[in-house]
Amino acid sequence: MKTRITEKLGIRHPIVQGGMQWVGTADLAAAVSNAGGLGILTALIFPNPEALGREIDRLFSLTDKPVAVNLTLLPTLQPVPYMDYAEMIVDKGVTIVETAGRSPAEFMPLFRNAGMTVIHKCTSVRHALKAQEMGCAIVSVDGFECAGHPGEDDIPGLILLPLAADQLHIPILASGGFADGRGLAAALALGADGINMGTRFVATREAPVHANIKKALVDGDEHSTALVLRTLHNTARIFRNRLAEEIVALEKRGGVTIDELAPLVAGRRGEQALKEGDVHGGVWGAGPVTGLIRDIPSVQELLDRIVREAEAVIGKRLASMTG
């Protein structure tokens, strides 16, 4: 299955792993790349640029296929040395970087001088157009269905993707709500050149999270997520556990401050929950695509299945309707 994404990134399948908080380690990224997709290491899950550098070295020891590093630029309670992380990514010889959150404009000269391919995640067409204008090679267009930060426009991918395809000339990754070959076929039909998956990769054997978390995704359904931090205009979609329900209730009460919410949404608390298997112990990202997750395959099995299903949809089901 060849698209502009496979050609641009040098990968076999038009499937990219999302840059997931606490999950995007070398183990998962290498598994995705070795299976024919693009694996992504998540920079800010490491405490400093030096620790990230060591993980990049480990990633390169696990695969000789194309890989990327995600650098997410979001408001934080503590200052983050983003440029130091960016320079480490460049110094280690990474050739593909995924940026997310605010505009990566200040980092583009660094990435451009290093000859890197820049993918930027966008939740609106206007942001995608700006990314294209500043020199990003690919945009990942995130519909409202996505886990993590879906933006504030609440436009689903079914609408957002064709709108973006009508106005952009660079390749598009469809992100949010993808878990199987039907989704890949649909994304291609809507004008995307590939898909970006996050939640689905958490429920794989190689994902570095506790078995309880993976089981929660298999047991969950399309209603198993919650939107939090909406009152702060920093919306996040997370798995609907008891802590998520508490946060939602606080925001509905009104007048809640970041100081009140910070202990509940603390990243380290979420990290501990993922590692120790306390499903209700912290906030952790998940999308309504949870309803489509019914097993815990290896990454290789998952990618092979998705491509096989997509080819069947494109080559058989659609052909039968036209012919």
Domains with residue ranges and CATH for the chain: 4-208 (3.20.20.70), 225-285 (no CATH)
Rounded CA-CA distance 216/203 in Å is: 9
Residue 277, pLDDT score? 97
Record the tokens describing residue 100, joined without a space. Answer: 């997310």
pLDDT one-digit tens code per residue, 40-67: 999 999 999 999 999 999 999 999 999 9
Task: Give the three-class secondary structure for 9.
Answer: helix
* Phi/psi of residue 301, nearest 5 degrees: -60, -40
Place of tokens 């490491």: 46
Question: What's the CA gap between 155 and 246, in Å, rounded?
Answer: 26
The closest alpha carbon to 236, from 133, 91, 313, 123, belongs to 123
pLDDT at 317: 67
pTM of the predicted model as reported, rounded to 2 decimal places: 0.95
Helix (DSSP H) and strand (DSSP E) numbers for the chain: 15, 10
Calpha distance 158→139 (Å, rounded) = 16
Q: Which residue ranges in the chain fall short of pLDDT 70? A: 77, 317-323
Q: What single-letter DSSP state applies at residue 14?
A: S
Q: What's the rounded Cα separation, in Å, for the pair 177 and 196?
A: 9
Max CA distance (Å), the chain = 61
> CA–CA separation, 212 vs 317, rounded Å?
37
Q: What angle do CA 287, 219, 37 make, to 5 degrees?
A: 50
What's the first-to-final CA gap in the chain, in angstroms?
22
CA dist., res. 191 & res. 212, Å (int):
37
Instruction: Give residue 76's pLDDT.
Output: 73
Length of the chain: 323
222-241 b/e with 16+ CB inside 10 Å = b? eebbbbbbebeebbbbbbbb
SS3 content of the chain, % helix, strand, coil (to 5): 50, 15, 35
Q: Return d(Cα 241, Cα 284) in angstroms, integer.
A: 9
